[in-house]
Amino acid sequence: MPYKAISGIGEFGLIDRIASLVEPTLQAAPGLLTGIGDDCAVYQPAEGLLQVATTDLLVDQIHFDLLTTPLKLLGSKAISVNVSDICAMNALPRYALVSIAVPSSFSVEMIEELYQGMSYAAKEYGLAIAGGDTSSSRSGLVISITMIGEVAPEQLTHRSGAKPGELLCVSGTLGGAAAGLKLLMREKEIMLEHIENNEPYTKSAMAELKEYREVIQRQLLPIARLDIVRLFHAKNVRPSSMIDISDGLSPDLQHICRRSNTGALIHESRIPIHPDTRRIADELQEDALTWALTGGEEYQLLFTIPKEEYQAISDEKEISVIGEITDTEEGILLSDIYGMSIDLTSLKGFDHFSS
């Protein structure tokens, strides 16, 4: 890769490069009156719509590892994780502010790759990158994105709102992101061993990764389910509650139940496990169901809906009914394939502050 030091073009030179890379996203948000170049971005909200705002922080060595993460994919993922939060409110993303803290070892080309990924993803989702902030970093790369979306008041969906008797649904398949992460961690170990022993990191290891391509993509290049939100709007369906699966199916279901003051029962046999996940779990001597229940970073939508309303989306192959909402006294349970009940509150998901 060619190498141009950031110090050679300075902060403002770098912002100019960033501005030209995100320029193609600007047409996406019709309400955006001023993008990069002034002290603030200026946005004219659409009449009658509510604005939703979210922010996500991505920190080197906490949320990603540059040894196994191409910068283009990291840029795209940084956008997608925010879009996923907007989708969880049943809203549409409109624009984003992107702040970065960059280590001095980074080249101009590396930042360009990062923004190429962000710009590509933003265009795909139909949102504009409208501004941000740039700083140096004495430790690793930090990316902070704030995103604004819009939604009609009658479509807005919270985590609260689930009622006993309603169906519990999930989009897409689960377990793939956890499988992808395990494989990347294994790959990193192999890479580090090669470096330690002063051996070249041979192509064979990477070539083997090809057969795992799909789950690695689930980890490195997640796609927020804006298609499902558009489907709800098109079919005039409003989930009674919704969350995106960032911590794991089980912990995120618990968020819905806690905020809605309900219990839930899910059926193991109905959980849509990513087709490659079982094979990979067997290979790594791990458990695909555990990945599907507690693996984070899936970015699928978990939602509840009254039975009558579900009819309008029952043909949708990307949506699975995995259980139902119950009274709070019944707890949050998984019925396994033998009909045994497992208390989901005893399973652990990812928590930044637990050891």
Phi and psi of 128, rounded to 5°? -100, 145
- The one segment of 126-134, 201-209, 261-269, 303-311 that binds Mg ion by CB under 5 A: 126-134
Nearest approach, Cβ of residue 19 and ligand ADP (Å): 7
CA Rg, the chain, in Å? Answer: 21
Nearest approach, Cβ of residue 108 and ligand ADP (Å): 13
* Bridge partners for 146 per DSSP: 55, 97
**Of 9 and 190, CB closest to ligand ADP:** 9
**Of 107 and 328, CB closest to ligand ADP:** 107
Nearest approach, Cβ of residue 151 and ligand ADP (Å): 25
3-class DSSP assignment, residue 57: strand
- Can residue 11 be called a binding residue for Mg ion (CB under 5 A)? no
- Can residue 133 be called a binding residue for Mg ion (CB under 5 A)? yes
Binding site for ligand ADP (CB under 6 A): 15, 18, 36-39, 98, 100, 131-134
Nearest approach, Cβ of residue 288 and ligand ADP (Å): 39
What residue 177 binds from Mg ion, ligand ADP, none (CB within 5 to 8 A, per partner kind)? none
What ranges make up the beta strands (E) of the chain?
32-34, 42-43, 50-59, 92-103, 128-137, 142-151, 167-171, 241-244, 263-267, 301-305, 319-326, 332-335, 341-343
Minimal CB distance to ligand ADP: which residue? 131
Interactions with Mg ion, residue window 135-154 (CB under 5 A): none
Q: What DSSP assignment string belongs to 200-211?
A: ---HHHHHHHGG
What residue 308 binds from ligand ADP, Mg ion, none (CB within 5 to 8 A, per partner kind)? none
Interactions with Mg ion, residue window 253-312 (CB under 5 A): none
Nearest approach, Cβ of residue 149 and ligand ADP (Å): 18
What the block records as the tokens of 102 is: 């960059």
**Of 145 and 243, CB closest to ligand ADP:** 145
- Can residue 327 be called a binding residue for Mg ion (CB under 5 A)? no
Do residues 22 and 129 make contact, with C-beta atoms less than 8 angstroms apart? Answer: yes
Nearest approach, Cβ of residue 60 and ligand ADP (Å): 16
Strands of the sheet with 332-335, listed across from one edge = 241-244, 301-305, 167-171, 319-326, 263-267, 332-335, 341-343
What residue 336 binds from ligand ADP, Mg ion, none (CB within 5 to 8 A, per partner kind)? none
Nearest approach, Cβ of residue 86 and ligand ADP (Å): 19
**Residue 163 CA: distances (Å) to CA of 169, 307, 333, 345:** 13, 11, 16, 19
- Of 221, 36, 247, 239, nearest in space to 124 by CA: 221
What residue 18 binds from ligand ADP, Mg ion, none (CB within 5 to 8 A, per partner kind)? ligand ADP
CA 35 to chain centre: 25
Do residues 171 and 226 make contact, with C-beta atoms less than 8 angstroms apart? Answer: no
- Of 100, 105, 35, nearest in space to 74 by CA: 100
Binding residues (CB under 5 A) for Mg ion: these are 133
